[in-house]
C-alpha cells in the first residue's frame, strides 16, 4: 500500500517538474544587444520585447527611442516610428 502511494507521488512530482521546466523555457528571454546606439531585444518563445535607442543625427536629442512588444507574434505596443 505504501509503495503504491510513493510511486504515485513520484509521478506527480515528475510531472510538476517537467511543467515548470517547460514554462521556464517559454518565458525566459534571451537578450540581444544591437550596435545602433543601444537597442536591446529580449526574445523568448512566447514574446518579443524590443527597446529601441538608435542614433539619429537629425533629431534634437541625437537619438530615437521607442518600444515594441509582441506576444505570440501579435504586436501589442509599438511606440517607435
Per residue in 8-28, pLDDT (tens digit) is 777 888 899 999 999 999 999
| pLDDT for 24 | 92
Look at residues 67, 22, 27, 24 and name the one whose alpha carbon lies nearest to residue 45. 27
When divided into structural domains, the chain yields a total of: 1
* pLDDT per residue as tens digits for the range 26-80: 999 999 999 888 899 999 999 999 999 998 888 888 888 999 999 999 999 999 8
Q: Is the pTM of this model over 0.85?
A: no
60 Cα distance to chain centroid:
32
Burial class (CB in 10 A: 0-12, 13-18, 19+), 61: exposed
Domain that holds residue 71: 2-78
Q: Quick one: what percent of the chain has pLDDT higher than 90?
A: 59
Provide the pLDDT confidence category of residue 3 given band limits of 50, 70 and 90.
low
State how far the Cα of 5 lies from the Cα of 69, in Å rounded to an integer. Answer: 46
What are the φ and ψ backbone dihedral angles of 7, each rounded to 5 degrees?
-65, -40
Q: Which H or E element spans position 71?
A: strand 63-71
Q: What is the pLDDT of residue 6?
A: 64
Amino acid at each position: 500500500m505504501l509503495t503504491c502511494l510513493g510511486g504515485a507521488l513520484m509521478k506527480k512530482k515528475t510531472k510538476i517538474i517537467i511543467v515548470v521546466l517547460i514554462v521556464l523555457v517559454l518565458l525566459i528571454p534571451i537578450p540581444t544587444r544591437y550596435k545602433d546606439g543601444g537597442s536591446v531585444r529580449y526574445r523568448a518563445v512566447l514574446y518579443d520585447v524590443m527597446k529601441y535607442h538608435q542614433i539619429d543625427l537629425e533629431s534634437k536629442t541625437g537619438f530615437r527611442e521607442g518600444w515594441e512588444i509582441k506576444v505570440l507574434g501579435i504586436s501589442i505596443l509599438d511606440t517607435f516610428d
